[in-house]
Amino acid sequence: MSDYSIWVLEFAYTTHFPKSSVIYGAHNEGTLKLPYAYVLIKGRGQVAMVDIGYDNVAYGKILTERFAIENWHSPRDVLKQCGVTPEEVRHIFITHAHFDHMGGIELFPNATFYIQEKELSKWVWAMALDRRLRWLMAAIDPQDIMRVVDLARQGRLVSIDGVREDVLPGIDVFPAYDSHTAGSQYVLVRNDGQRNSADNWVLAGDLVYQVENLVGYDPQDPCYLPVGFAQGSQTNLLLATHEMVGKVGGDTKRIIAVHEARLKDMFPSCLTADGLQIIEIALGEGQKSCVL
């Protein structure tokens, strides 16, 4: 039986996202629906999340309009579908600092946040560059970076330098430097608690957007296709993908991409009254399903 329940919780979506942004080279191939989601992990007396979405106010609201995001709902509304409040979340793993992954800091008052040190320091560096380089900040709310710094003042920030094992029991983080962002990281859940686990799940952040990033278009001759948006390099994205695939013994279904609309067809799922998907990746021992 699994130690942790793992749910992907959609909190918004956009219906016409350029395919070339999620699969490099898919130029002139139109658009697709892109969910915006985060991951809830519950078990062993812990309530944790991987990424937290954003608050649809101030600059977050401007970015909502810029990216044509629809049907946004607050973490309080979304988490209650699994019987959790934002106040109960005590550990938050930030895969990277883009607004839709880190913009909800103030909505989780009791959580400790875990981020790669390089992710924070490189965004401070980017903020100080000449205005003509502002494309680098296209998906960043500068106030989010300042909020992370304030978390450090409050004693609620863990700045990680590289690999960190057992941040929580059976949960490790691994960096993917200079890939999607300078200090991206992914989360590995060893869901049987064993060091050499037979029940690994990789929560990939934006290192992977779509199934095709992991297997390409030809199932008889699979290949990796990097995501379209890389502030580091496509090469580093491919190398990170290969590393993640190795962590799950080649079973690419165990690499979870929260922006993949087809997750609902791959795992038990349900549509809430708000029109948002809940995808149940794993169900921990003694816990109640959120999709039945």
State pLDDT tens for residues 253-267: 999 999 999 999 999
| H/E segment holding residue 125 | helix 117-127
20, 66, 157, 232 from 17: Cα distances, Å? 9, 12, 33, 21
Q: What are the boundaries of each domain within the chain?
A: 5-282
Is the per-residue pLDDT at 159 higher than 80?
yes
State the angle between helix axes of 58-66 and 142-154 in degrees (0 to 180), rounded to the nearest 10. 140
Q: Over the Cα atoms of the chain, what is R_g?
A: 18
- Whole-prediction pTM value? 0.97
Is the per-residue pLDDT at 21 higher than 90?
yes
Euclidean distance between CA atoms 226 and 221, whole angstroms: 16
Nearest CA-CA partner of 94 in 119, 74, 69: 119
Residues 167-191: pLDDT tens digits? 999 999 999 999 999 999 999 999 9
The pLDDT score that the predictor gives to residue 219 is 86
How many residues are listed for the chain in this entry? 292
Residues 67-85: pLDDT tens digits? 999 999 999 999 999 999 9
Q: Which CATH number fits domain 5-282: 3.30.360.10, 3.60.15.10, 1.10.1060.10, 3.90.1150.10?
A: 3.60.15.10
The terminus-to-terminus CA distance of the chain in angstroms comes to: 19
